[in-house]
Structure 1
Amino acid sequence: MTQKGYSQKSLRKKVYDFIREQMNDGKLLPGSLLNLQETSSRLGISMTPLREALVQLETEGFVTIIPRRGVVINTLTLTRIRQMYRVIGALEAAALEDVYQSLTEGDIERLQDLNRKMREDLEKGEMEEYMSLNRTFHNTWLGRCGNEELFRIAQLMKDRLYEFPRNVDLVPEWEEVSMAEHETIVECLLQKDLEGAVYYLRDVHWCFNTQEAFVRKYYAKHLERLDHMRKDAVELTL
């Protein structure tokens, strides 16, 4: 055991969870430098578990460690978003193929119900719940495929796309199209058309070229929000 009875592993997780929470809440913004001494002092830990947590975060794509300069919170570029869309599409398609034979009528009815609830939440402006239901919809196959690495990578990439900081400034017309795509995927499953469902999931729903106009609009709003957050942070320090 190490500091205050924590194991080295639990200390690393404590730091890891803290930094991700700070990014999620917008307290560590993309492009900003992480103050290592301040973080170490705030958590009451040595630099060793902090460095270990940062190595993990760098491996997952959240930060970049620059020798002798510090740690930078990564920003998203259209190139990176394009790459992640392709990977997520491939992973989700593989997961759907793996679980297809085990999907029941009840599972498909649940997908339909989730999509209906998403539409209701969108109409009511309940964006947090909408995003949660959207994850649940896709986790119908991701969470049941039995491939822990596939699931982990897909979730991390979605976190990078939507959670740091969390962006609930959705583009309503994009969400309408997304739910219509969900309906097409579900209809393919109802018709026992696995090939069609996989194609629509990978080559339409997660196709960057198909979604690019919406992606640009979504992240334009996201960047505007980040600019406001940076200005607010500067004003608080004055």
Structure 2
Amino acid sequence: MDISRTSLREAIRSLEAEGLLTLVPHRGAVVASVELPDVRQIYQVRGALEALATSNFVVSSTDEEIAELANAVEELRIAASRNLSGKEIREIKQRFYDILLGISENRIVKEQLDKLNNRISMLRTLSMGRPGRLKFTVIEIEEIVEAIKKRDRARASEAALKHIENSEKNVVELLLMKSGEKQNNH
């Protein structure tokens, strides 16, 4: 592959530190799986961080940034009505997060959320693609933005946490359904 062993080892250490790889004795590096207890913890931490980011945004954002956030949600609402793929919807939803986390007061929060989201990106796409979930996602995010527009810090943070809690419930249900299917096939 024309890569030095030192560079490869450093890349593997970096991926392991982010929880994306696991080093297994006598096997080497394998892609880390996300188990149900991990999913629950990841979503708990994600909820706390997103509530904090939302609170920071309420306090520190400009009126222009709030308008930009509202436009991103409108774009998401329109995209949801067009039956786009989960990946396409996720890309549009990412614009919302780029704006929310783009203020300097959310720099560290963004770094931590990026690490968590790297570990669960497949689950997020799966969740967004579940029939009926997208409608609720849009409603939940609209509630966040409405509270932000009113500069209601507590309500905005609560709405952000509720959105992540609902996302977690959705992902856990999907994982339990999949594990039930695997058990029935054996």
TM-score normalised according to structure 1 size: 0.65
SS in 2 for 1:206: helix
Aligned to 2:110: 151
Aligned to 1:68: 26
Structure 1 pair 120–213 and aligned structure 2 pair: CA distance change class (3 A): same
What is the CA deviation profile of residues 118-170 of structure 1, one whole-angstrom value per residue up to 9, with x for unaligned ones?
12222323233321121121232222144543212201211221248965871
Matched, 1:108 2:66: yes
Comparing both structures, which one devotes a greater share of its residues to helix?
2
Give the number of aligned pairs: 178
Structure 1 pair 168–83 and aligned structure 2 pair: CA distance change class (3 A): closer
Aligned to 2:133: 174
Structure 1 pair 104–150 and aligned structure 2 pair: CA distance change class (3 A): closer
Q: 1:51, CA displacement in angstroms?
A: 1.2
Q: 1:74, CA displacement in angstroms?
A: 0.9
SS in 2 for 1:192: coil
User: Over alpha carbons, which structure has the higher Rg?
Assistant: 1
Q: 1:50, CA displacement in angstroms?
A: 1.1
TM-score normalised according to structure 2 size: 0.81
Point out which structure has higher relative CO (alpha carbons under 8 A, 6+ apart).
Answer: 2
Matched, 1:88 2:46: yes
Cα distance in 1 between the residues matched to 2:12 and 2:138:
37
Contact 1:92/1:141, CA 8 A, preserved across alignment: no
Shift >3 Å, 4+ stretches: 145-149, 163-169, 210-213, 216-223
Unaligned segments of structure 2, at least 5 residues: 180-186
Structure 1 pair 117–164 and aligned structure 2 pair: CA distance change class (3 A): same
Aligned to 2:184: none
Contact 1:169/1:222, CA 8 A, preserved across alignment: no
Unaligned segments of structure 1, at least 5 residues: 1-42, 224-238
Structure 1 pair 118–165 and aligned structure 2 pair: CA distance change class (3 A): closer
Cα distance in 1 between the residues matched to 2:171 and 2:130:
9
Q: How is 1:205-216 mapped onto 2 (pairs within 5 angstroms)?
A: 205-207=163-165, 210-216=166-172
Aligned to 1:124: 82
Cα distance in 2 between the residues matched to 1:220 and 1:170:
16
Aligned to 1:188: 147
Q: Percent identity?
A: 28
